[in-house]
Chain A
Amino acid sequence: MEGAGNILFSGVGGQGILLASEITAYSLLAAGYDAKKSEVHGMAQRGGSVTAQLRYGKKVYSPLIEPGQADIQVAFEMMEAVRYLPYLHKGSKVIVNTQKILPPAVATGQAEYPADVLDNLIEREIVVVPVNAFDLAREVGEVRTANVVMVGAMSPFLPVNPDVYEDIIRARVPEKFRDANLRAFEAGRRVSE
């Protein structure tokens, strides 16, 4: 067990960020790391931008990622991949679900959804891994597994053996959805491998 890192999960309230960050945290703990995770409940959840911050290492003190220190970002929506740019550094890996969710100003015709929004990352030498999580989730037979597809796509960037994630999914997910989630994890992992 070596190294330490910071993972930022971002997206829109209701996208299943919580489960994705939990599976990641359990996997890191099972691999022998210390971990802390921070999230915000309440007002911040009602369809607004949401984040969860996960830090791992030999011993983790602060639950918050410092600006410029997120090594990996798992973004569940395209614009939310760019919103937290000050947290990223050159070479950060951004795994992004290529879905667009229109914010109120765009939905009501007051603003436009920015074109080529991911270029903001690429221009700054940030590694972008686009994932069509919905299509992949549909292919494995359960659209609600898009968040686990995202975990799969992130997994090769963490020092954790794929078996560990699979064990966690087996232990955590109700039997009814277990196989679909395992397939979703594999489908996501293939995107990045």
Chain B
Amino acid sequence: MTKQNDNAHWMSGNEAIALGAYEAGVKVASGYPGTPSTEIMENLCHYDGVYTEWAPNEKVGLEVAIGASFAGVRALATMKHVGLNVAADPLFTASYTGVNGGLVLVCADDPEMHSSQNEQDNRNYAFAAKMPMLEPSEPMEAKEMLKTAFELSEDLDTPVMLRITTRIAHVKGVVEQGEKKKALPGEISKNPSKLVMLPGMARQRRVYVEERMNRCKELAETAAFNRIEEGDTKRGFITSGVSYLYVKEAFPDAAVLKLGMCWPLPEKKIREFAAMVDELYVVEELDPFLETHIKALGIDCRGKECIPNQGELNTSIVRNSIDPDSKAELFEEVALPMRPPNMCAGCPHRGIFFNLSRMKVFVSGDIGCYTLGFLPPLSAMDSCVCMGASVSIAHGIAKAVGEDAHDKVVSVIGDSTFIHSGITGLINSVYNESASTLIILDNRITAMTGQQQNPASGYNMKGEAASQLDLEALCRAVGVKHVYKVNPHEVPETRKVLKEAVDQKEMSVVISEAPCVLLPEMKERKPVSYFTNQENCVGCMSCIRLGCPAISWTTFAEGEAEERGYRKKQKGISKIDEILCNDCGQCASLCKFNAITRKEEK
């Protein structure tokens, strides 16, 4: 966040939402990191007077926020789109209980799957859980809408969702600072008929939910966030979220109905707008959410018949979908070697996946940096579905294959993901007698989302010392008899342990312990680099097969091997870039020819 003047700041959508939460007087906020939502909590934790925490998963985070709301304060829960699947259970019933203090859930969708395993459209949750959802178009509006969401929540006795997408979360724009509302202190007040959702009470609250949504619909007709922007009525556009910006650029003169609330919909306003224009288009990313509900009102409109229902939109896509003749001629792409993401130089995960790539096992993977173990040259992941699924999928495979499966299925999960939702899978595997092997990649941090603390890291969100979960004790407590610990940088040693674990005919766990190289304390140390004694290199490519970004291969030209004094048949040599090297030593532990040595001083 950077100040432009006293009131205007250059901020990302996530920074703006954090400021909005502060201005709204939020007292308690809980979340689980997930791109593109993570920076909301990371920024909010620096404001005074707001309690913030990383929860072990989104369900816990939302439940913490529900509790805070029950105690009368304004509460916030943040998560990425798939996190809402985990939090859906409390969400659907919190819709019935309603709130005491305002309760807002921010969910960040990821159309185009920049950093996600699916691109589900979470607007569908607002419809399914029967609660209002606001949808901003840009950072400044995101901040203001968060404050509106809290007011709505308290006025209508309902949780409210604020849905953002990657192009709001990670877009920077100018944001004006506003007044801060005083945060009320929390207090315990009992109201069991509202808060205890036994069937008898739930049936009464169910009636209230309908009344509330009808009131919300009425309010949506006149609220400022649903606005008609006058213009050329030959073509009119109904749109919301970031799509509004693309419509404004593709068709700057057209009449627009901008819906700031995508659920419930202002039926009268939509009918009024539809009657104003000759031809009606609905422009929205992903599902035909608005379109389906508008068509259900009996209003004729065009939407997904011409606009893609997959991936992100942009101005060109919107313009070309509606006016195919407007397509501009573009330079074509030139074929270039791909540059996919890769594990960092010195990443501890590499040692595990290098070994797995040489074992004849099915690797059931999970969500984190280590999903990159799928990529060549390691190519050591065979499935990956969602957070925590690795353990239970491995168990399912083992049960399907039967007794022979004990040495053929391995699951791989990070420390934070294991705590998020892998523990229950492990309990099941022990309880129902799996014989698979679980590898917990404990790098002491939630790495992929940018270094967030978690219950096993020993620190809380603010970096203060906190209780540290003992993963080994936990595995033993749930009944795992064979628990091993390895240093993944010792590649051949790790291989021996993995083999022993896999050979066990009962559930086994291997905890791979080595810190992420991006941890501040790892970056601050002065790493000693390794270097190649090229005269000893025989070109066996053992180190190259690690796929480390610091190691590269040079192919010899014809006759070059002999000229340089190598064996005639040698195809090339490898070289370590000493600037990129992060001192893990995995390559040195693999080299049998004394061609890789650790330097004394960098």
Contact = CB atoms under 8 A, between A and B. Distances in A.
B127 interface: no
Contact of A62 (B115, B314, B334, B450): B314
Contacts of A61: 245-246, 248-249
A82 interface: yes
A170 interface: no
A19 interface: no
B399 interface: no
B502 to A, nearest CB: 27
B170 A40 contact: yes
B249 A85 contact: no
Given A66-B316, A109-B553, 17 more contacts: A12-B339, A29-B10, A29-B174, A37-B172, A43-B115, A44-B115, A46-B372, A64-B312, A64-B315, A79-B339, A80-B339, A83-B333, A88-B331, A104-B377, A107-B551, A107-B552, A172-B2
Contact of B174 (A34, A83, A107, A112): A34
B336 A38 contact: no
A49 B167 CA distance: 18
A60 B166 CA distance: 18
A66 B166 contact: no
B547 interface: yes
B158 to A, nearest CB: 31
22 contacts: A13-B341, A26-B10, A38-B167, A40-B114, A40-B170, A41-B450, A42-B36, A42-B115, A43-B341, A46-B343, A63-B138, A63-B173, A64-B167, A64-B312, A83-B333, A85-B331, A85-B332, A102-B552, A103-B338, A103-B339, A103-B340, A109-B544
Interface of B: 2, 4, 10, 35-36, 38-39, 114-115, 138, 166-167, 170-174, 242, 245-246, 248-249, 312, 314-316, 328-334, 336-344, 369, 372, 375-377, 448-450, 541, 544-545, 547, 549, 551-555, 572
A61 B241 CA distance: 12
Interface in A67-92: 67-68, 79-80, 82-83, 85-86, 88-89
A122 interface: no
Interface string A18-49: 00001001100110001111111111111111
A66 B314 CA distance: 7
Interface residues of A, number: 55
B333 A86 contact: yes
B245 A108 contact: no
A111 B552 CA distance: 12
A161 interface: no
Given A29-B10, A63-B171, A109-B553, A40 B339 contact: no
A41 B36 contact: yes
B256 to A, nearest CB: 11
A57 to B, nearest CB: 11
B448 A42 contact: yes
B331 A113 contact: no
Nearest to A84: B333
B4 A29 contact: yes
B314 A41 contact: no
A3 B575 CA distance: 49
Given A66-B314, A85-B331, A103-B338, A43 B245 contact: no
B332 A36 contact: no
Nearest to B572: A109
A22 to B, nearest CB: 8
Nearest to B450: A41
B318 to A, nearest CB: 9
Given A29-B4, A48-B342, A62-B249, A42 B337 contact: no
Given A35-B173, A86-B330, A45 B338 contact: no
Nearest to A60: B173
Contacts of B553: 107-109
B343 to A, nearest CB: 7
B36 A104 contact: no
